[in-house]
Amino acid sequence: MTSDRGLVDWIAPSRTALLVIDMQVDFAAPDGVIGRFGVDLSAVGRALETAEWLTDLAREVGAPVVFVGLETTPESDPPAMLERMRRRGGDPEIERAICRKDTPGADFYGPLPRAGELVVGKPRYSAFVGTDLDAQLRARGVDTLLVCGLTTECCVDSTVRDAFHRDYNVFVINDACAAYEPDLHEGALKSLGLSFALILGSSEVNAVWR
């Protein structure tokens, strides 16, 4: 896609933060909400492993690592989302109970934050909606984001688009993201790469940061 020489400047640790999106029990663990529904989590497992060593690499080179997690409450559940669930024939009382704040399902799973690292709880798909993430990043001198997490077509996608519209340079790490269906993952990457981000593999980041 591009030369390592270009990437050295583009993703220099002094300007770049690694965003870990929604790698949480309810989305990724066999005993989480999605796992209990019987969804195939094999792609998620691979993304978790890659994201875990990617966070360690970021720490080694001094790039900030930011953990973003969904935190829902009955009071903050979006009315439009609940209505959409009803119109699709679902039961909002069951479907909305995911990543409830202060429950084990909302805990991070796979890569875990360390003391002093920024942790952001979000009420919507995008990490920028209803949070101070933008201000926190600006205060750290960050203008570039490496994004990984779950799921590629939903919260990763929403976050990347919002970051682009806030004038961040955005890179999506394709093997550190996952969707529950391969075509959704590939389709989301294709769409994001077309208009909002550059797509990298973790090996490319490793080659530059090492």
Residues identified as active-site = 22, 122, 155
CA distance 147 to 140: 17
Cβ burial of 116 (10 Å; 0-12, 13-18, 19+) is exposed
176 within 8 A of 148, measured Cβ to Cβ: yes
Neighbours of 188 (CB within 10 A): 21
Region of residue 121 (phi > 0: left; psi between -120 and 50: alpha; otherwise: beta):
beta
**What does R_g of the chain's alpha carbons equal in angstroms?**
17
Q: Are 36 and 164 in contact (CB under 8 A)?
A: no
Tokens of 176: 């550190």
Cβ pair 158, 185 in contact under 8 A: no
User: What are the tokens at 83?
Assistant: 């209505």
Strand duo 118-122 + 169-178: pairing: unpaired
Q: Of 154, 160, 162, 200, nearest to 180 (Cα)? A: 154
The answer to whether 58 and 13 are in contact (CB under 8 A) is yes
